[in-house]
Amino acid sequence: MDQQSGAALFSASFKAHAFPAYAAMRAEGPAAGFTMPDGKRLWLVTRFAEASEMLKDQNRFVNDISNALTEEEYAALFQQSTEELTPEQQAMAALTDEVLSGQLLGVDPPDHSRLRRLVAIPFTPKYIEGLRPRIQAIADALLDAAEARAEATGRHEMELIDDFAYPLPLTVIAEMLGIPEEDRGRFREWSQAAVSFTPADRANRAMTGKLIEFIAYMQALVATKRADPGDDLLSGVVIAEMEGDKLSENELLSLIFILIVAGHETTVNLIANGMLALFEHPEEYARLRANPDLVRSAVEEMLRFYGPVEMSLTRWAREDAVFGGVQMQRGDQVMALLASANRDESRFPDPDRFDIAREPNRHLAFGTGIHACLGSALARMEGQIAFTTLLARLPGLAPAIPRDRIEWRDATFLRGLTRLPVTWDG
């Protein structure tokens, strides 16, 4: 594909008609090549088998660009993108770069294994199961508040994202990490800045300014936990840092950063996108209402059908090699197009059909390999509780605006809605 269609793929309006475009790309081959505006090559791996293979192959594909380039090439790249900045801005760019790229998805083994081990236990299914009553209580409290507002105004309506889908996972991850309630309001802006940040934004003062603010906040939070550790996850990592050479200060900030951001921008979209899928398929919606036990497989189908993460983060080709039938060069950017892999007809019969009892349904919505989602057990439980509670408590839940006014957000890597106003029967 050429440069123009590459740019179109990353435009705001693309998500609305992405699936037929992905099907056309799969038909052409397992990997589609693009030339980005800066002249660099980007490969999108579109088919299920090759996308899984790519994500599992740490020898050929690395997450840390410095492992794919020579030291000189890497230094030149950073210098090129920061040479117009003042020395003070360059220092800020270096700090944001280190924190943003030092997180789990930016590093390779052995660093990756060491860092992931430090936070893995609280995310195991067994540990997460213990959070069920608390997550249920948070979901109920949010709907109590929505019902109280409806009672007061006589209008049974809410903004599903702002009033439910966003605060639910945010409260859960903030409580797990031990982030004080009064600080949580500032996270949305920071976290959105983080997911939309690209190296080209290094020269954008407003953007780097927000990230610097976020980093300063995390530094202050770490200092508080050091002085007075609690039994939360963050205190646990801070104690590990104080106890020895398990991780550096910037690695600690990177870990906190990825847990906040990844726990933030994803489950909200599982809930809202999943609700949209139910609204678009009234027979499946009725089936779930009649059979709440189907919630587990329904959530899996929502993840496959409208997964919150459209494509993996960037991997870098470590060597010149033929992969997916194309010739890749060392240093090329490669991504697994998860949304396409999850609609691959050779893996999922009738892939565009939304079937809440689909079986088998081993999708790629959480990625695979060593970087597979750390929070998948948590996200699944949040999704299951969200749908069971919404459907049980709000009869007649329906969109409050016509389908053509429900829009996908402009966020390349993610699939999420701008808003989803809903009504229910009084």
Which residues of this chain interact with ligand HEM, rule CB under 6 A? 55, 104-105, 116, 173, 258-259, 262-263, 266-267, 270, 307-309, 312-313, 338, 365-367, 371, 373-375, 378-379
Q: What whole-number distance in Å separates Cα of residue 202 and Cα of residue 223?
A: 27
The type of residue at 249 is E
Least CB distance from residue 39 to ligand HEM, whole Å?
A: 24
257 or 285: whose CB is closer to ligand HEM?
A: 257
* Spatial separation of the C-alpha atoms in residues 266 and 308, rounded to whole Å: 6
In the complex, which residue's CB is closest to ligand HEM?
Answer: 375
- Closer residue to ligand HEM in complex, CB, 225/371: 371
Least distance in angstroms from the C-beta of 212 to ligand HEM: 22
Cα–Cα distance measured from residue 216 to residue 103, given in angstroms and rounded to the nearest whole number? 16
Residue 400 or 417 with smaller CB distance to ligand HEM: 417
Cβ 298 vs Cβ 288: under 8 Å: yes
Q: What is the DSSP string of 354-408?
A: --TT-SS----TT--GGGS-TTHHHHHHHHHHHHHHHHHHSTT-EESS-GGG--B
Is 30 or 106 the residue whose CB approaches ligand HEM more closely? 106
What's the rounded Cα separation, in Å, for the pair 340 and 14?
14
Looking at the Cβ atoms of 106 and 156, the one nearer to ligand HEM is 106
Give the nearer residue to ligand HEM in terms of CB position, either 99 or 270.
270
Q: Which is nearer to ligand HEM, 10 or 147 (CB)?
A: 10
Chain centroid offset of residue 323 CA = 26
Q: In angstroms, what is the minimal distance from the CB of 223 to ligand HEM?
A: 22
Q: How far is the CB of 303 from ligand HEM (least distance, A)?
A: 6
In the DSSP assignment, the letter for residue 335 is: E
**Secondary structure class of 307 (helix, strand, coil):** coil
Instruction: Please report, as a single letter, which amino acid is at residue 248.
Output: S
Nearer to ligand HEM, 379 or 406 (CB): 379
Give min distance, CB of 101 to ligand HEM, in A: 12
Least CB distance from residue 76 to ligand HEM, whole Å?
A: 26
Contact 158, 146 (CB under 8 A): yes
Residue 264 amino acid letter: H
On whether the CB atoms of residues 32 and 43 are closer than 8 A, the answer is yes
Query: Least distance in Å: CB of 353 to ligand HEM?
Result: 21
What single string gives the DSSP state of each residue in 146-198?
Answer: HHHHHHHHS--EEEHIIIIITHHHHHHHHHHHT--GGGGGGHHHHHHHHHH--
Nearest distance, CB of residue 91 and ligand HEM, angstroms? 27
